[in-house]
Amino acid sequence: MSAMGVEQQDVEAGPIVCTRRVDVDPVHAFEVFTERLGDWWDPRLTPDPGTYEGADVEEVEGGVVALHHDGEDYPIGEVQEWSIGERFAMTFHLTLPRDHPTVLEVDFEPSEGGTLVTLTHGGWGPDNQSHRGRFTEWPNLLERFAATAVSE
């Protein structure tokens, strides 16, 4: 493989990064992102939009992140970091091979009286990189999150 091909592969495997400024403090932004995930997550991005009932995040490292459908839990990852008002990280395997998850890292930084939320979807490698192109909805999800955060 040529050096150019290797460079292209590295670029393609790079993280997806999205940012959104929200007019709430970092603790509130963190709480809405995690505790109200089910309120802002788009049902279209679930296994069955017609039976979507919400989502839960177990508020501890190692906790399960799950969508709920028709009374059943559908795990989509595991909490890796829980720092209220600062950082949330989880493994993420929604629509991905479960044994080759990616990683979502969300940072909450004070910014001009509000919070800058930076979502980084990384952990792309040879076993999951072919799925990377499916993840184009992060900007829309952050918009939904922001609308939920400021609606209280």
One digit per residue, pLDDT tens: the chain, 152 residues? 334 433 344 445 799 999 999 999 999 999 999 999 999 999 999 999 999 999 999 999 999 999 999 999 999 999 999 999 999 999 999 989 889 999 999 999 999 999 999 999 999 999 999 999 999 999 999 999 999 999 97
Structural contact between residues 65 and 58, judged by C-beta atoms closer than 8 angstroms: yes
Burial of 10: CB neighbours in 10 Å, binned 0-12, 13-18, 19+: exposed
Q: What are the φ and ψ backbone dihedral angles of 141, each rounded to 5 degrees?
A: -65, -40
Burial of 71: CB neighbours in 10 Å, binned 0-12, 13-18, 19+: exposed
DSSP state of 133: G
In the chain, where the domains are located: 15-150
Q: Supply the pLDDT for residue 43.
A: 97
CA dist 37 and 112 (Å) reads 25
Say if pTM beats, i.e. exceeds, 0.75. Answer: yes
Architecture per CATH, domain 15-150, reads as: 2-Layer Sandwich (3.30)
Q: Supply the pLDDT for residue 80.
A: 98
3-state DSSP assignment of residue 117: strand
CA dist 71 and 52 (Å) reads 9
Q: Supply the pLDDT for residue 4.
A: 40
CA dist 50 and 69 (Å) reads 9
Residue 14 CB partners (closer than 8 Å, separation 6+): 122, 124
